[in-house]
Structure 1
Amino acid sequence: MKRPSRKIALHLTPLLDLLLIVIFAQYMEVRQQETSTLQAAEAAAESREEAVTRLANLQEMHELASGELARAQQQAVELSMRNAQLREEAMRTEQALEQVRAQQRVVGELLTELYAIPQEDVERILDPTREPPIADSPEAQERLRQRFREMAEQDSGRMIMHLLSYEEIRKRCDVWKLHIDENNVATLDTGSRTFRFRVVPEQFEDHVFGLYKSLPQPKGLVIILYTYDRDTRVSITETIGQALQDLVGRMREDSGNRTRFEYADLGIRPE
Protein backbone atom coordinates (compact mmCIF):
# COMPACT_ATOMS: atom_id res chain seq x y z
CA MET A 1 0.00 0.00 0.00
CA LYS A 2 1.57 3.24 -1.07
CA ARG A 3 2.10 6.02 1.32
CA PRO A 4 0.59 9.28 0.39
CA SER A 5 3.27 11.89 -0.82
CA ARG A 6 3.91 15.07 1.16
CA LYS A 7 4.35 18.45 -0.45
CA ILE A 8 6.79 20.89 1.13
CA ALA A 9 6.13 24.52 0.44
CA LEU A 10 9.08 26.95 0.95
CA HIS A 11 8.50 30.53 1.52
CA LEU A 12 11.45 32.30 -0.19
CA THR A 13 10.55 35.87 0.60
CA PRO A 14 11.87 35.91 4.15
CA LEU A 15 15.10 34.26 3.00
CA LEU A 16 15.55 36.77 0.26
CA ASP A 17 15.02 39.60 2.69
CA LEU A 18 17.58 38.09 5.02
CA LEU A 19 20.05 37.69 2.19
CA LEU A 20 19.59 41.28 1.16
CA ILE A 21 20.15 42.43 4.71
CA VAL A 22 23.36 40.41 4.94
CA ILE A 23 24.59 41.73 1.58
CA PHE A 24 23.75 45.32 2.56
CA ALA A 25 25.51 44.92 5.90
CA GLN A 26 28.59 43.57 4.14
CA TYR A 27 28.39 46.42 1.65
CA MET A 28 28.20 48.99 4.43
CA GLU A 29 31.10 47.33 6.18
CA VAL A 30 33.16 47.43 2.99
CA ARG A 31 32.27 51.10 2.43
CA GLN A 32 33.21 51.91 6.00
CA GLN A 33 36.49 50.06 5.58
CA GLU A 34 37.13 51.91 2.30
CA THR A 35 36.38 55.24 4.00
CA SER A 36 38.67 54.37 6.90
CA THR A 37 41.33 53.19 4.47
CA LEU A 38 41.00 56.39 2.43
CA GLN A 39 41.21 58.52 5.54
CA ALA A 40 44.20 56.54 6.72
CA ALA A 41 45.80 56.92 3.30
CA GLU A 42 45.18 60.66 3.32
CA ALA A 43 46.57 60.92 6.83
CA ALA A 44 49.55 58.83 5.77
CA ALA A 45 50.06 61.09 2.74
CA GLU A 46 49.91 64.18 4.92
CA SER A 47 52.30 62.59 7.38
CA ARG A 48 54.59 61.69 4.49
CA GLU A 49 54.51 65.27 3.18
CA GLU A 50 55.20 66.60 6.67
CA ALA A 51 58.03 64.09 7.02
CA VAL A 52 59.43 65.10 3.61
CA THR A 53 59.20 68.78 4.59
CA ARG A 54 60.85 68.14 7.93
CA LEU A 55 63.53 66.07 6.22
CA ALA A 56 64.18 68.88 3.75
CA ASN A 57 64.36 71.37 6.62
CA LEU A 58 66.69 69.08 8.51
CA GLN A 59 68.88 68.67 5.44
CA GLU A 60 68.99 72.45 4.97
CA MET A 61 69.80 72.93 8.64
CA HIS A 62 72.46 70.24 8.34
CA GLU A 63 74.00 71.99 5.35
CA LEU A 64 73.93 75.32 7.19
CA ALA A 65 75.43 73.73 10.27
CA SER A 66 78.09 72.04 8.14
CA GLY A 67 78.92 75.39 6.53
CA GLU A 68 79.07 77.12 9.91
CA LEU A 69 81.23 74.31 11.24
CA ALA A 70 83.58 74.59 8.28
CA ARG A 71 83.81 78.36 8.72
CA ALA A 72 84.34 77.96 12.44
CA GLN A 73 87.09 75.43 11.80
CA GLN A 74 88.68 77.79 9.26
CA GLN A 75 88.46 80.67 11.72
CA ALA A 76 89.96 78.48 14.41
CA VAL A 77 92.87 77.65 12.10
CA GLU A 78 93.30 81.34 11.20
CA LEU A 79 93.10 82.36 14.86
CA SER A 80 95.65 79.73 15.76
CA MET A 81 97.99 81.00 13.05
CA ARG A 82 97.37 84.61 14.13
CA ASN A 83 98.04 83.72 17.75
CA ALA A 84 101.29 82.10 16.70
CA GLN A 85 102.24 85.23 14.74
CA LEU A 86 101.30 87.45 17.69
CA ARG A 87 103.38 85.34 20.04
CA GLU A 88 106.30 85.55 17.64
CA GLU A 89 105.85 89.30 17.24
CA ALA A 90 105.56 89.69 21.00
CA MET A 91 108.82 87.79 21.44
CA ARG A 92 110.54 89.96 18.83
CA THR A 93 109.09 93.11 20.42
CA GLU A 94 110.26 92.02 23.84
CA GLN A 95 113.72 91.29 22.47
CA ALA A 96 113.82 94.67 20.71
CA LEU A 97 112.57 96.40 23.88
CA GLU A 98 115.24 94.70 25.92
CA GLN A 99 117.86 95.82 23.40
CA VAL A 100 116.53 99.38 23.61
CA ARG A 101 116.62 99.22 27.40
CA ALA A 102 120.19 97.98 27.30
CA GLN A 103 121.13 100.72 24.83
CA GLN A 104 119.42 103.32 27.00
CA ARG A 105 121.34 102.12 30.03
CA VAL A 106 124.62 102.33 28.12
CA VAL A 107 123.75 105.76 26.66
CA GLY A 108 122.63 107.03 30.04
CA GLU A 109 125.84 105.84 31.68
CA LEU A 110 127.92 107.42 28.92
CA LEU A 111 126.00 110.69 29.22
CA THR A 112 126.49 110.70 32.97
CA GLU A 113 130.21 110.18 32.46
CA LEU A 114 130.34 112.85 29.76
CA TYR A 115 128.65 115.40 32.00
CA ALA A 116 130.97 114.62 34.87
CA ILE A 117 133.06 117.69 33.99
CA PRO A 118 136.19 118.13 36.08
CA GLN A 119 135.99 120.96 38.57
CA GLU A 120 138.93 122.83 37.02
CA ASP A 121 137.11 122.87 33.67
CA VAL A 122 133.98 124.20 35.36
CA GLU A 123 135.99 126.98 36.97
CA ARG A 124 137.64 127.84 33.67
CA ILE A 125 134.26 128.00 31.90
CA LEU A 126 132.85 130.21 34.65
CA ASP A 127 135.91 132.47 34.74
CA PRO A 128 134.46 135.95 35.42
CA THR A 129 137.28 137.56 33.40
CA ARG A 130 136.25 135.95 30.13
CA GLU A 131 134.47 138.07 27.54
CA PRO A 132 131.56 137.94 27.61
CA PRO A 133 131.21 136.24 31.00
CA ILE A 134 128.95 133.20 31.21
CA ALA A 135 127.47 134.48 34.47
CA ASP A 136 126.99 138.12 35.34
CA SER A 137 127.04 137.69 39.11
CA PRO A 138 128.41 135.36 41.81
CA GLU A 139 124.88 134.07 42.36
CA ALA A 140 124.54 133.14 38.69
CA GLN A 141 127.95 131.45 38.78
CA GLU A 142 126.90 129.41 41.82
CA ARG A 143 123.68 128.36 40.07
CA LEU A 144 125.70 127.15 37.11
CA ARG A 145 128.11 125.27 39.37
CA GLN A 146 125.15 123.62 41.06
CA ARG A 147 123.72 122.71 37.67
CA PHE A 148 127.00 121.08 36.66
CA ARG A 149 127.03 119.09 39.89
CA GLU A 150 123.43 117.95 39.37
CA MET A 151 124.13 116.84 35.83
CA ALA A 152 127.19 114.89 36.95
CA GLU A 153 125.19 113.18 39.71
CA GLN A 154 122.09 112.34 37.69
CA ASP A 155 121.33 108.69 37.02
CA SER A 156 121.09 107.30 33.51
CA GLY A 157 117.29 107.53 33.39
CA ARG A 158 117.23 111.25 34.15
CA MET A 159 120.03 111.89 31.66
CA ILE A 160 118.03 110.08 28.97
CA MET A 161 114.97 112.19 29.76
CA HIS A 162 117.12 115.30 29.58
CA LEU A 163 118.40 114.24 26.17
CA LEU A 164 114.90 113.36 24.93
CA SER A 165 113.58 116.73 26.11
CA TYR A 166 116.37 118.47 24.24
CA GLU A 167 115.52 116.49 21.11
CA GLU A 168 111.84 117.46 21.41
CA ILE A 169 112.90 121.11 21.60
CA ARG A 170 115.08 120.63 18.53
CA LYS A 171 112.05 119.28 16.64
CA ARG A 172 110.25 122.57 17.16
CA CYS A 173 113.08 125.00 16.52
CA ASP A 174 116.28 125.24 14.50
CA VAL A 175 119.59 125.67 16.27
CA TRP A 176 122.33 127.26 14.19
CA LYS A 177 125.91 127.17 15.46
CA LEU A 178 128.19 130.03 14.46
CA HIS A 179 131.85 129.78 15.44
CA ILE A 180 134.71 132.15 14.63
CA ASP A 181 138.18 130.61 14.93
CA GLU A 182 141.45 132.36 15.66
CA ASN A 183 142.12 132.76 11.93
CA ASN A 184 138.87 134.72 11.44
CA VAL A 185 137.23 131.78 9.60
CA ALA A 186 133.54 131.41 10.38
CA THR A 187 131.71 128.07 10.47
CA LEU A 188 127.92 128.24 10.28
CA ASP A 189 126.18 124.92 10.95
CA THR A 190 122.40 125.05 10.34
CA GLY A 191 121.85 121.36 10.98
CA SER A 192 121.11 120.64 7.33
CA ARG A 193 124.09 122.47 5.82
CA THR A 194 127.48 123.75 6.96
CA PHE A 195 129.11 126.89 5.55
CA ARG A 196 132.73 128.02 6.02
CA PHE A 197 133.89 131.46 5.00
CA ARG A 198 136.45 134.08 5.95
CA VAL A 199 135.04 136.88 8.05
CA VAL A 200 135.03 140.34 6.50
CA PRO A 201 133.35 142.46 9.20
CA GLU A 202 131.79 144.94 6.78
CA GLN A 203 130.32 142.13 4.66
CA PHE A 204 129.39 139.67 7.41
CA GLU A 205 125.70 140.61 7.76
CA ASP A 206 125.01 140.60 4.01
CA HIS A 207 126.94 137.36 3.53
CA VAL A 208 125.06 135.44 6.26
CA PHE A 209 121.76 136.92 5.06
CA GLY A 210 122.51 135.53 1.59
CA LEU A 211 123.22 132.11 3.10
CA TYR A 212 119.91 132.31 4.97
CA LYS A 213 118.09 133.05 1.69
CA SER A 214 119.57 129.89 0.14
CA LEU A 215 118.12 127.66 2.89
CA PRO A 216 114.67 126.05 3.03
CA GLN A 217 111.97 127.67 5.15
CA PRO A 218 113.12 127.31 8.79
CA LYS A 219 110.95 126.38 11.75
CA GLY A 220 109.04 128.94 13.78
CA LEU A 221 112.07 129.64 15.96
CA VAL A 222 115.76 129.84 15.01
CA ILE A 223 118.41 130.20 17.72
CA ILE A 224 121.95 131.14 16.66
CA LEU A 225 124.57 129.97 19.18
CA TYR A 226 127.61 132.21 18.77
CA THR A 227 131.06 131.07 19.98
CA TYR A 228 134.67 131.83 19.17
CA ASP A 229 138.18 130.71 20.03
CA ARG A 230 140.16 132.16 22.92
CA ASP A 231 142.65 133.76 20.50
CA THR A 232 140.03 135.33 18.22
CA ARG A 233 140.51 139.08 18.15
CA VAL A 234 138.13 141.01 20.37
CA SER A 235 137.45 143.51 17.62
CA ILE A 236 136.15 140.70 15.44
CA THR A 237 134.01 139.07 18.14
CA GLU A 238 132.43 142.39 19.14
CA THR A 239 131.76 143.36 15.53
CA ILE A 240 130.14 140.02 14.79
CA GLY A 241 128.05 140.26 17.98
CA GLN A 242 126.74 143.65 16.90
CA ALA A 243 126.10 142.37 13.38
CA LEU A 244 124.10 139.45 14.76
CA GLN A 245 121.76 141.88 16.56
CA ASP A 246 120.94 143.55 13.26
CA LEU A 247 120.91 140.27 11.33
CA VAL A 248 118.24 138.50 13.43
CA GLY A 249 115.89 141.47 13.06
CA ARG A 250 116.49 141.57 9.31
CA MET A 251 115.78 137.86 8.88
CA ARG A 252 112.67 138.09 11.07
CA GLU A 253 111.33 140.91 8.92
CA ASP A 254 112.19 139.04 5.73
CA SER A 255 110.21 135.99 6.90
CA GLY A 256 107.13 138.16 7.42
CA ASN A 257 107.42 137.48 11.17
CA ARG A 258 106.57 133.82 10.52
CA THR A 259 109.92 132.85 12.06
CA ARG A 260 111.44 134.29 15.19
CA PHE A 261 115.23 134.63 15.10
CA GLU A 262 117.31 134.91 18.27
CA TYR A 263 121.00 134.60 19.05
CA ALA A 264 122.99 133.80 22.17
CA ASP A 265 126.62 134.89 22.68
CA LEU A 266 128.12 131.90 24.49
CA GLY A 267 131.62 133.39 24.44
CA ILE A 268 134.77 131.35 24.18
CA ARG A 269 134.12 127.75 23.23
CA PRO A 270 135.76 125.34 25.71
CA GLU A 271 138.60 123.44 24.14
Structure 2
Amino acid sequence: MGELDCEGACLIDHDERRLLLFCHCGADQSYRLAALATLARTWPGWRVEWAYDGFQQIKAAAGHAADLAGTGPRDPQAGKSWCDVLVTVIHRGQTRAHLVDSAEAVIRSGARSLDDHRSAWPAITSCPGKVVAGVHLDLDEQSAGVWTTSTLRGALRSMGQGWPGWHWSDWQDRSAEQARRVAGALTVPEPDLAEGLRGLAAEFDKHQDVDSATEAASLLLAFTDLLLAGARASGHEAHVHKDNAFTHRPMDLTGEEKALVHTAIAGLMTSPR
Protein backbone atom coordinates (compact mmCIF):
# COMPACT_ATOMS: atom_id res chain seq x y z
CA MET A 1 0.00 0.00 0.00
CA GLY A 2 1.27 3.46 -0.86
CA GLU A 3 1.48 6.12 1.82
CA LEU A 4 -1.13 8.35 0.22
CA ASP A 5 -3.62 5.46 0.19
CA CYS A 6 -3.08 4.56 3.85
CA GLU A 7 -5.64 6.24 6.11
CA GLY A 8 -4.41 4.50 9.23
CA ALA A 9 -2.17 1.74 10.52
CA CYS A 10 -1.00 0.17 13.75
CA LEU A 11 1.96 -1.91 14.85
CA ILE A 12 1.50 -4.36 17.71
CA ASP A 13 4.92 -5.14 19.18
CA HIS A 14 4.57 -7.95 21.75
CA ASP A 15 8.28 -7.93 22.60
CA GLU A 16 8.27 -4.23 23.53
CA ARG A 17 4.61 -4.21 24.64
CA ARG A 18 4.13 -1.24 22.37
CA LEU A 19 1.08 -0.22 20.36
CA LEU A 20 2.06 2.31 17.68
CA LEU A 21 -0.74 3.74 15.56
CA PHE A 22 -2.18 6.60 13.57
CA CYS A 23 -5.50 7.32 11.87
CA HIS A 24 -7.53 10.37 10.92
CA CYS A 25 -10.13 10.15 13.73
CA GLY A 26 -12.56 12.18 11.69
CA ALA A 27 -10.35 15.30 11.99
CA ASP A 28 -11.62 15.66 15.55
CA GLN A 29 -9.16 16.42 18.37
CA SER A 30 -11.68 15.41 21.04
CA TYR A 31 -12.46 12.06 19.43
CA ARG A 32 -8.76 11.28 19.03
CA LEU A 33 -8.03 12.17 22.66
CA ALA A 34 -10.85 9.88 23.79
CA ALA A 35 -9.62 7.03 21.58
CA LEU A 36 -6.06 7.25 22.94
CA ALA A 37 -7.28 7.47 26.55
CA THR A 38 -9.50 4.42 26.03
CA LEU A 39 -6.68 2.45 24.40
CA ALA A 40 -4.49 3.17 27.43
CA ARG A 41 -7.10 1.36 29.55
CA THR A 42 -7.85 -1.53 27.20
CA TRP A 43 -4.10 -2.14 26.70
CA PRO A 44 -2.88 -1.97 30.32
CA GLY A 45 0.89 -2.26 30.72
CA TRP A 46 1.48 -1.31 27.07
CA ARG A 47 2.95 1.88 25.61
CA VAL A 48 0.25 3.40 23.45
CA GLU A 49 1.97 5.82 21.08
CA TRP A 50 0.90 7.91 18.12
CA ALA A 51 2.94 7.62 14.92
CA TYR A 52 3.40 11.30 14.09
CA ASP A 53 5.39 10.43 10.98
CA GLY A 54 2.60 8.15 9.82
CA PHE A 55 3.05 5.21 7.50
CA GLN A 56 6.82 5.61 7.25
CA GLN A 57 7.21 5.48 11.03
CA ILE A 58 5.16 2.28 11.16
CA LYS A 59 7.37 0.75 8.46
CA ALA A 60 10.57 1.76 10.25
CA ALA A 61 9.33 0.37 13.58
CA ALA A 62 8.57 -2.93 11.83
CA GLY A 63 12.15 -3.11 10.53
CA HIS A 64 11.55 -1.98 6.97
CA ALA A 65 13.34 0.83 5.16
CA ALA A 66 11.42 4.08 5.37
CA ASP A 67 11.66 7.03 3.01
CA LEU A 68 11.36 10.05 5.28
CA ALA A 69 12.00 12.41 2.40
CA GLY A 70 8.32 12.11 1.58
CA THR A 71 6.74 14.05 -1.22
CA GLY A 72 8.25 17.13 -2.80
CA PRO A 73 7.34 20.60 -1.57
CA ARG A 74 4.06 22.13 -2.66
CA ASP A 75 2.35 25.39 -1.87
CA PRO A 76 -0.06 25.26 1.08
CA GLN A 77 -3.62 26.10 0.08
CA ALA A 78 -5.51 28.74 2.07
CA GLY A 79 -8.97 30.30 2.12
CA LYS A 80 -10.74 27.06 1.20
CA SER A 81 -13.60 25.46 3.12
CA TRP A 82 -11.51 22.38 3.92
CA CYS A 83 -8.58 24.28 5.43
CA ASP A 84 -8.29 23.18 9.06
CA VAL A 85 -4.65 23.86 9.97
CA LEU A 86 -4.00 26.99 12.03
CA VAL A 87 -0.91 29.01 11.11
CA THR A 88 0.06 31.86 13.43
CA VAL A 89 2.83 34.29 12.51
CA ILE A 90 4.57 36.84 14.71
CA HIS A 91 6.30 39.62 12.77
CA ARG A 92 7.59 42.82 14.34
CA GLY A 93 5.66 42.00 17.47
CA GLN A 94 2.32 41.62 15.67
CA THR A 95 0.41 38.34 15.39
CA ARG A 96 -1.55 37.26 12.31
CA ALA A 97 -3.42 34.00 11.86
CA HIS A 98 -4.38 31.98 8.80
CA LEU A 99 -6.08 28.69 7.96
CA VAL A 100 -4.28 26.42 5.48
CA ASP A 101 -4.76 22.86 4.31
CA SER A 102 -1.51 21.19 5.45
CA ALA A 103 1.08 21.67 8.18
CA GLU A 104 3.41 19.41 6.23
CA ALA A 105 3.16 21.66 3.16
CA VAL A 106 4.07 24.74 5.23
CA ILE A 107 7.20 23.01 6.54
CA ARG A 108 8.29 21.57 3.21
CA SER A 109 7.79 24.84 1.30
CA GLY A 110 10.61 26.45 3.32
CA ALA A 111 11.39 29.89 4.68
CA ARG A 112 12.17 31.52 1.32
CA SER A 113 8.58 31.24 0.12
CA LEU A 114 7.08 32.29 3.47
CA ASP A 115 6.67 35.99 2.59
CA ASP A 116 4.88 35.14 -0.66
CA HIS A 117 2.56 32.74 1.16
CA ARG A 118 1.73 35.19 3.94
CA SER A 119 0.77 37.92 1.49
CA ALA A 120 -1.57 35.53 -0.34
CA TRP A 121 -3.16 33.85 2.69
CA PRO A 122 -6.39 35.44 3.99
CA ALA A 123 -6.06 36.50 7.63
CA ILE A 124 -8.54 35.34 10.25
CA THR A 125 -9.51 37.01 13.52
CA SER A 126 -11.10 33.98 15.18
CA CYS A 127 -10.38 30.28 15.00
CA PRO A 128 -13.04 27.66 14.13
CA GLY A 129 -14.03 25.19 16.81
CA LYS A 130 -12.07 22.31 15.30
CA VAL A 131 -8.59 22.37 13.78
CA VAL A 132 -6.41 19.32 13.18
CA ALA A 133 -2.96 20.88 13.36
CA GLY A 134 -1.10 24.11 13.97
CA VAL A 135 2.10 25.83 12.90
CA HIS A 136 3.53 28.78 14.81
CA LEU A 137 6.16 30.94 13.11
CA ASP A 138 8.02 33.67 14.99
CA LEU A 139 9.84 35.68 12.34
CA ASP A 140 11.40 37.96 14.94
CA GLU A 141 13.09 35.08 16.78
CA GLN A 142 13.36 32.72 13.77
CA SER A 143 11.73 29.97 15.80
CA ALA A 144 8.82 27.75 14.94
CA GLY A 145 6.73 24.91 16.33
CA VAL A 146 4.20 22.46 14.98
CA TRP A 147 1.55 20.18 16.45
CA THR A 148 -0.82 17.77 14.78
CA THR A 149 -3.52 15.24 15.50
CA SER A 150 -2.72 13.56 12.20
CA THR A 151 0.76 12.99 10.75
CA LEU A 152 3.62 15.04 9.32
CA ARG A 153 5.08 12.23 7.19
CA GLY A 154 8.66 13.01 8.17
CA ALA A 155 8.50 16.70 7.24
CA LEU A 156 10.47 17.84 10.30
CA ARG A 157 13.16 15.23 9.72
CA SER A 158 13.66 16.12 6.08
CA MET A 159 13.37 19.92 6.01
CA GLY A 160 17.04 20.08 4.97
CA GLN A 161 18.16 23.58 4.02
CA GLY A 162 14.64 24.94 3.76
CA TRP A 163 14.84 26.81 7.07
CA PRO A 164 18.43 28.04 7.52
CA GLY A 165 19.00 29.64 10.91
CA TRP A 166 15.60 28.59 12.23
CA HIS A 167 14.88 26.45 15.28
CA TRP A 168 11.88 24.13 15.01
CA SER A 169 10.07 22.43 17.94
CA ASP A 170 7.96 19.30 17.63
CA TRP A 171 4.94 19.75 19.92
CA GLN A 172 3.35 16.44 18.88
CA ASP A 173 -0.36 17.00 19.68
CA ARG A 174 0.07 19.77 22.26
CA SER A 175 -2.05 22.57 20.79
CA ALA A 176 -1.63 24.44 24.08
CA GLU A 177 1.95 25.29 23.05
CA GLN A 178 0.65 27.36 20.14
CA ALA A 179 -2.11 28.85 22.30
CA ARG A 180 0.43 30.04 24.87
CA ARG A 181 2.48 31.88 22.25
CA VAL A 182 -0.50 33.76 20.79
CA ALA A 183 -2.33 34.36 24.08
CA GLY A 184 -4.52 37.44 23.79
CA ALA A 185 -4.38 37.53 20.00
CA LEU A 186 -6.33 34.37 19.19
CA THR A 187 -8.04 31.51 21.00
CA VAL A 188 -6.83 28.06 19.99
CA PRO A 189 -9.49 25.37 20.60
CA GLU A 190 -8.62 22.60 23.04
CA PRO A 191 -9.96 19.04 22.86
CA ASP A 192 -12.88 18.13 25.09
CA LEU A 193 -12.43 14.61 26.50
CA ALA A 194 -16.06 14.25 27.58
CA GLU A 195 -17.32 15.22 24.12
CA GLY A 196 -14.87 12.83 22.50
CA LEU A 197 -15.89 9.96 24.76
CA ARG A 198 -19.55 10.42 23.89
CA GLY A 199 -18.71 10.33 20.19
CA LEU A 200 -16.42 7.34 20.62
CA ALA A 201 -19.07 5.36 22.52
CA ALA A 202 -21.66 6.04 19.82
CA GLU A 203 -19.28 5.10 17.00
CA PHE A 204 -18.15 1.95 18.77
CA ASP A 205 -21.72 0.71 19.18
CA LYS A 206 -22.54 1.66 15.59
CA HIS A 207 -19.66 -0.45 14.26
CA GLN A 208 -20.88 -3.50 16.18
CA ASP A 209 -24.17 -3.56 14.29
CA VAL A 210 -23.85 -6.21 11.60
CA ASP A 211 -25.82 -5.28 8.50
CA SER A 212 -26.69 -7.64 5.67
CA ALA A 213 -23.62 -6.71 3.62
CA THR A 214 -21.22 -7.33 6.51
CA GLU A 215 -22.95 -10.60 7.40
CA ALA A 216 -22.71 -11.80 3.81
CA ALA A 217 -19.02 -10.91 3.69
CA SER A 218 -18.42 -12.84 6.91
CA LEU A 219 -20.15 -15.94 5.53
CA LEU A 220 -18.24 -15.68 2.25
CA LEU A 221 -14.91 -15.40 4.05
CA ALA A 222 -15.69 -18.32 6.35
CA PHE A 223 -16.74 -20.53 3.41
CA THR A 224 -13.60 -19.54 1.46
CA ASP A 225 -11.40 -20.47 4.42
CA LEU A 226 -13.04 -23.92 4.56
CA LEU A 227 -12.45 -24.48 0.85
CA LEU A 228 -8.81 -23.45 1.11
CA ALA A 229 -8.24 -25.71 4.10
CA GLY A 230 -9.84 -28.61 2.26
CA ALA A 231 -7.71 -28.05 -0.80
CA ARG A 232 -4.49 -27.95 1.26
CA ALA A 233 -5.49 -31.10 3.14
CA SER A 234 -5.91 -32.90 -0.22
CA GLY A 235 -2.53 -31.72 -1.43
CA HIS A 236 -3.98 -29.24 -3.91
CA GLU A 237 -3.23 -25.57 -4.36
CA ALA A 238 -5.98 -22.95 -4.49
CA HIS A 239 -5.94 -19.23 -5.20
CA VAL A 240 -8.42 -16.54 -4.21
CA HIS A 241 -8.96 -13.40 -6.25
CA LYS A 242 -8.19 -10.54 -3.86
CA ASP A 243 -10.86 -7.91 -4.23
CA ASN A 244 -12.37 -5.71 -1.52
CA ALA A 245 -14.60 -8.49 -0.22
CA PHE A 246 -11.49 -10.43 0.80
CA THR A 247 -9.28 -7.52 1.82
CA HIS A 248 -11.55 -5.98 4.47
CA ARG A 249 -12.49 -8.53 7.08
CA PRO A 250 -15.24 -7.60 9.54
CA MET A 251 -14.20 -7.70 13.20
CA ASP A 252 -16.39 -9.91 15.37
CA LEU A 253 -15.90 -8.95 19.01
CA THR A 254 -16.91 -11.20 21.88
CA GLY A 255 -19.30 -9.99 24.54
CA GLU A 256 -16.39 -9.79 26.97
CA GLU A 257 -14.38 -7.61 24.57
CA LYS A 258 -17.31 -5.25 24.03
CA ALA A 259 -17.86 -4.96 27.77
CA LEU A 260 -14.16 -4.16 28.28
CA VAL A 261 -14.40 -1.17 25.93
CA HIS A 262 -17.65 0.08 27.48
CA THR A 263 -16.11 -0.19 30.94
CA ALA A 264 -13.04 1.76 29.86
CA ILE A 265 -15.12 4.57 28.34
CA ALA A 266 -17.46 4.72 31.34
CA GLY A 267 -14.47 4.79 33.71
CA LEU A 268 -12.97 7.72 31.83
CA MET A 269 -16.29 9.56 31.98
CA THR A 270 -16.32 9.38 35.77
CA SER A 271 -12.57 9.50 36.40
CA PRO A 272 -10.55 10.92 33.46
CA ARG A 273 -7.16 10.35 35.12
- Tell me the TM-score normalized by structure 2: 0.20
Query: Which one has a larger percent helix, Structure 1 or Structure 2?
Result: 1
**Structure with the greater alpha carbon radius of gyration:** 1
Q: Using CA pairs below 8 Å that are at least 6 residues apart, which structure has the higher relative contact order?
A: 2
Query: Which one has a larger percent strand, Structure 1 or Structure 2?
Result: 2
